[in-house]
Amino acid sequence: MSKQQTILKARWVLPMTPGGAVLEQHAVVMDGERIAAVLPWGEAEARYADAERVELGQHVLIPGLINGHTHSAMSLLRGVADDLALMDWLNNHIWPLEKKWVSEDWTYQGSLLSAAEALRGGVTYLNDMYFFPTAMARAAVDAGIRAGVSINVIDFPTGYAANAQEYIDRGVAAYEQYKGERLLDWTSAPHAPYTVSDETFVKLRELAERLDIQMHCHIHETQEEVDGSLKQYGMRPLERLNKLGVLNERMLAVHMVHLTEAEIAMLAAQKVHLVHNPSSNLKLASGVAPIKALEAAGVNTILGTDGAASNNRQDMFAEIRAAALLAKGVTGDPLTVSARTALEMATIRAAKAMGREADLGSLEVGKLADVVAVSLDALECRPVYHADAQLVYVAGREHVSDVWVGGRQVLKGRALTTIDTAALIERAEHIVGQMKAGR
């Protein structure tokens, strides 16, 4: 038997290739870290007779989900401040807590907790934005999950850095330390237009160009942000960022709730990627992104959970379902954001946004073997007429049974193979206990 080759046999395979259909009684063959074949059961067994077999029965195999925006370490702040508007939430709760408590170890433990939650929910890639990038990098590598690690910058002092240049210097040092690590990508990450100066935006644009990495920024999240920019700069945030030259195919613009028709046209023309965070935007009462108009314009729209402090679930199945339902409800058009489109937002489109479409986002020969098995065997998931729609409107993260990242099994029968979950929970509870006592 080949130690490198594994046949994953499932009732359904959803490759997420452009225009690709749901395949029945097919197998995904992994050879090392990459996909060697997607074939009917009989052909796979005949061609790879010596390969290991994994029988998955009434499962759907899908590409690993990509969470386009999160703050992983903030899992340690899950539920700390609910039912608040964004600026109240940030200024009076989150930022004070972060200033007091955030450290390298705090960030590592929170990031590892999020990585565990992600893998159990079928997410194989976290696009993160937070301080102490070395902690996120270590957590991702230890968990065996892919991550977009951020060179995160905000123009005021925190417990991580004193000024913009120190944020940049520390971020670049982390990038240099982990450069070449196969599980990690990097982003140049200005926090938001209301926390980052023109000069810093330009520096981060130049950094992204020099390192050939993506950018990652909160933009147009609330009407208050837009109004504040008009008062301070005499222009809306997107107009300002366009003048600074940061709106292009590198930019992952997060939230983007409050947009004009002209701004949507500009985003499409300049190939900006938009990260839709439906649950977080609803919980903070920020609004709903105009997905129908964005889709009509051809903007590459993907999905993110945001952090656990604002969502509070880092659950991509919930975001996929919310994206489909919200778009229909807001527009009165049931054809807006089909089940297939919602799944694309968390897979192949997200891979494109991260600059990784050659390797990730679909189950195709030669791509990295990031594969998720979702069981539709439970009575709550039966009957199955259309497996793809079933993933969006019926199944949840609790139905994810097995996950492979680069051919390595990191979740087996709902159990993580890379993380001691009991020890992880114990460490997290210890940290939170200290925080509660300190408050």
Per domain, the residue ranges of the chain are 2-63+367-416, 65-353
C-alpha distance from residue 407 to each of 29, 63, 145, 323, 436 (Å): 10, 12, 12, 30, 41
Q: What region, left, alpha or beta, does residue 271 occupy, with left being phi > 0 and alpha being psi -120 to 50 degrees? A: left
For 378, the 3-state DSSP assignment is coil
In this structure, are residues 411 and 419 in contact, taking their beta carbons and an 8 Å threshold?
no
Asked if 191 and 154 count as a contact pair (C-beta separation under 8 A), the reply is: yes
Please check the confidence at residue 19 and state whether its pLDDT lies above 90: no
Q: Packing angle between helix 198-211 and helix 164-178, nearest 10 degrees?
A: 10
70, 279 Cβ separation under 8 angstroms:
no
**Please, which pLDDT band fits residue 1 given cuts at 50, 70 and 90?**
very low
Cβ pair 183, 145 in contact under 8 A: yes
CA-to-CA distance for 112 and 138, rounded, in angstroms?
9
- pLDDT reading at 439 higher than 70: no
Over the stretch 373-412, which tens digit does the pLDDT of each residue have? 999 999 999 999 999 999 999 999 999 999 999 999 999 9
Neighbouring CB atoms inside 10 A of 210's CB total 10
The more confidently predicted of residues 20 and 433 is: 433
Counting Cα atoms < 13 Å in the Cβ hemisphere of 255 gives 30
Distance CA 318, CA 393 (A): 9
Architecture of domain 2-63+367-416: Roll (2.30)
- The percent of the chain in helix, strand and coil, each rounded to the nearest 5, is 40, 25, 35
Average pLDDT over residues 140-163: 96
Spatial neighbors of 203 by CB under 8 A, at least 6 apart, are 164, 168
Give the per-residue pLDDT at 133: 98
Q: What is the largest CA-CA distance in the chain?
A: 68
Mean pLDDT, rounded, for 407-420? 98
Measured CA distances, 279 to 17, 70, 308, 401 (Å)? 27, 12, 11, 24
Of 14, 56, 53, 39, the C-alpha closest to 399 is 56
Ramachandran assignment for 25, one of left (phi > 0), alpha (psi -120 to 50 degrees), beta (any other) = left
Q: What is the pLDDT of residue 20?
A: 82
Range from 12-21, 130-139, 408-417 carrying the lowest mean pLDDT: 12-21
The Cα–Cα gap between 187 and 146 comes to: 13
pLDDT digits (tens, 9 = 90+) for 330-383: 999 999 999 999 999 999 999 999 999 999 999 999 999 999 999 999 999 999
Buried b (16+ CB within 10 A) or exposed e, 212-222: ebbbbbbbbbb
Q: Write down the CATH number for the domain with range 65-353.
A: 3.20.20.140
pTM (2 d.p.):
0.97
